[in-house]
Amino acid sequence: MFKRGYKKKSPEDQASVLEALRQMVRDLEYPSLRAKPMTGKPGIWEAHATQAVVMTFNFVDQNTIRLRACCNHDIYRRP
């Protein structure tokens, strides 16, 4: 689902997503990511690549995340 959403993004948004993923590897608490657990969705987290592009993920273990979706704010209906 993440890959499908990523491919639908503009080249600029794709570059922002890749940069956000790099930043997540370095520091998940980086302020522009605004990474946090999703309200009402146990185990699912959200992070922002841009103001409009949101990614969801969950932790497989302490050092591994599974990317779930890459979308706009519609993602809150189906993370």
Distance CA 34, CA 65 (A): 16
pLDDT digits (tens, 9 = 90+) for 4-31: 999 999 999 999 999 999 999 999 999 9
The domain over range 2-73 is classified in CATH as 3.30.2310.20: yes
Q: Would you state the pLDDT for residue 16?
A: 97
pLDDT digits (tens, 9 = 90+) for 31-64: 999 999 999 999 999 999 999 999 999 999 988 9
Distance CA 41, CA 3 (A): 21
Q: Does residue 76 or residue 23 have the better pLDDT?
A: 23
For the chain, domain boundaries: 2-73
